[in-house]
Amino acid sequence: MSDQLQAQQRRAITARAGVVAAGTFASRLLGALRDAVIAAFFSINATDAFFVAFTIPNALRVMLGEGAVSNAFIPVFSEIKTREGEARAKAFYAALTGAMLVVLAVVTVVGIAAAPWLVPLYAAGYQADPQKFRTTVSLTRLVFPYIFLMGIAALGMGALNTLKRFFVPAFAPALFNLAMIAAPFAFVPLALALGADPIAGLALSALVGGVLQVVAQFPALAKVDMLRRPVIDFSDPGVRKALGLLAPLMVGVGVYQINIMLSRLFASYLPEGSQSFLYYGQRLVELPQGMLALAIASATLPSLAELRNQGEHARAKDIFSYSVRLTLFIAIPASVGLTILALPTTCILFGRGAFGARQVALTAQSLAWMAAGVWAVAAVRCVVQMFFAYNDTRTPVICSAINLLIFASLSLVLLRPMKHAGIAAATSAAAIAQLCALLGLLTRRVGILPVKELVTSLMRILLASGLMGACVAFVSTWGHWDRGGNDLRNLAVYAAALTTAAVVYWGCSRLLRSPELVDLTAVVRRRRARAVTS
């Protein structure tokens, strides 16, 4: 492949990732605001119950929704489009939509009925408090239709991403967060009017947000002639192949969800608030994880699948290597910065209302340990895409099982001395082990990878991130974080720390001539030029 073609393909990946990252970043920022609103308006006891209830259908969302369905659907759709034409690919999409609607409806009904037996799997410790257990069961039933809505949204997202339409799928999730931000003001009064607990308003807002996320995709799907009447046809060859790929994917994602289940289960035996401390910490690390890993993975998979179907294996490996470097270029400094700024970040976002200094400190512990593994989680999502592009959904399952084994073992060891922070530390350690296993097995699957560029890039990133971390740590000492997130001095210091992080990392990367910075800068300049001329 010529250097010109390589550069063109890389620019396309970077540009598409930029669109997804912008949308995901907007959604994550709104998600952080959402969590700040929840922390300020609801007690720790109430949010402990809600977060467990929401985790159950959310686990199925990952299995049957955005992760598994998209990764099983995109390679098959791309293959059918390449070999049989666009008309056949669209017919396949209609058939797969019909099949998944049936599956999602059955799962939703079963989940609502089985809530009293599902909750103990995630929070057996709640059975010691009958009222809290009953509240969690009721919330689980109320929020369970969320899986049906998110499954539909995932199909639309997969279709648009396959056709390289990334804008709407990237920004639609922001509507979900907007609905939940409105919960204390619009849906809690509704819940009270219906005679329910105030926390039920959060569940209602989640369902409304799911509806908005589905409906927002309709115009974009109609524009590319993908808003079609579903056809229930399980005999369609494409549907059978996608479902065949989905089965091991669900097992792999299910293994990861067992981690979440065990995390909730272990925390249910810890002091009150442990569920919430873990949840808020996880939400904060999802900001860089979602913005980076999901964006780059979503932008890369269609190209990898297309190149693999065309037999361009060398180009596929080059694009894969580039996507990993681009991921690490932002994921490593994000990991360093978020670990150092764990207490200030928690203070600024949550330190007000019902969320006092004690809650801030305990959540910061969770955040610091989880942030230490941000880079590994981001890289895992990127590496897994290469397996999916080659229709290999089984190897990631093996590596997910390794993750589960290490997570469960370390959690049990660290639970007593570190409480909820031990669960957070085990999460990061397991992700690092999973990444190592994936990279080792990938070389057996696709052959030797372009390692030289990756190592060189990694050295630049580590040097720039280290200098950035030292400067940020110094600036953060100027704050009085026990005074809460509304303190003007704390707000100014936090803003200064973020500015310092951006300036130092950008300056170091420029001095080191990081090619990833050059590519990202070029994308920003092109978009700015288009905005000016339009």
- pLDDT of 532 reads 47
Residue 348 lies in a domain: no
Residue 283 lies in a domain: no
* Interatomic CA distance for residues 198 and 454, integer angstroms: 51
CA dist 7 to 14, 250, 322, Å?
10, 35, 10
Residue 190 lies in a domain: yes
Residue 147 lies in a domain: yes
- pLDDT of 156 reads 84
Residue 314 lies in a domain: no
Residue 164 lies in a domain: yes
Residue 149 lies in a domain: yes
Read off the pLDDT of residues 468-493 as tens digits, 9 standing for 90 and up.
999 999 999 999 999 999 999 999 99
- Total domain count for the chain? 1
CB distance 371 to 338 below 8 Å: yes
The position carrying tokens 């030289």 is 452
The pair of three-digit structure tokens given for residue 493, joined into one six-digit string:
């210091």
Residue 154 structural domain: 42-248
Return the DSSP state at 185.
Answer: I
- pLDDT of 170 reads 72
* Interatomic CA distance for residues 309 and 297, integer angstroms: 18
- pLDDT of 502 reads 95
Read off the pLDDT of residues 84-114 as tens digits, 9 standing for 90 and up.
888 888 888 889 889 889 989 999 999 999 9
| Dihedral angle over CA of 356, 359, 361, 366, nearest 10 | -150
| Dihedral angle over CA of 463, 469, 472, 476, nearest 10 | -170
Long-range pairs, 113-122, Cβ under 8 A, ≥24: 115/56, 115/140, 115/141, 115/144, 118/56, 119/52, 119/53, 119/56, 121/261, 121/265, 122/52, 122/55, 122/56, 122/261, 122/264, 122/265, 122/268
- pLDDT of 289 reads 64
Residue 71 lies in a domain: yes
| Chain CA centroid to CA 270, Å | 26
- pLDDT of 115 reads 95
The position carrying tokens 């997910």 is 400
Q: Please give the model's pTM, rounded to 2 decimal places.
A: 0.79
**Strand, helix or coil at 79?**
helix
Tens place of pLDDT per residue across the chain (534 aa): 455 555 565 556 556 555 666 666 777 788 888 999 999 899 888 999 999 999 988 887 777 766 556 667 777 887 888 888 888 888 888 898 898 899 899 999 999 999 999 999 999 999 999 999 999 999 999 999 999 998 888 888 877 877 777 677 777 788 999 999 999 999 999 999 988 899 999 999 999 999 999 999 999 888 888 888 888 888 888 888 888 777 766 666 666 678 888 999 999 999 999 999 999 998 888 777 656 666 666 666 566 667 777 777 777 778 788 888 888 998 999 999 999 999 999 999 999 888 988 999 999 999 999 999 999 998 988 888 888 777 787 888 889 889 999 999 999 999 999 999 999 999 999 999 999 999 989 888 777 777 888 899 999 999 999 999 999 999 999 999 999 999 999 999 999 999 999 999 999 999 998 888 887 776 556 555 554 454
**Strand, helix or coil at 533?**
helix
| Chain CA centroid to CA 30, Å | 14
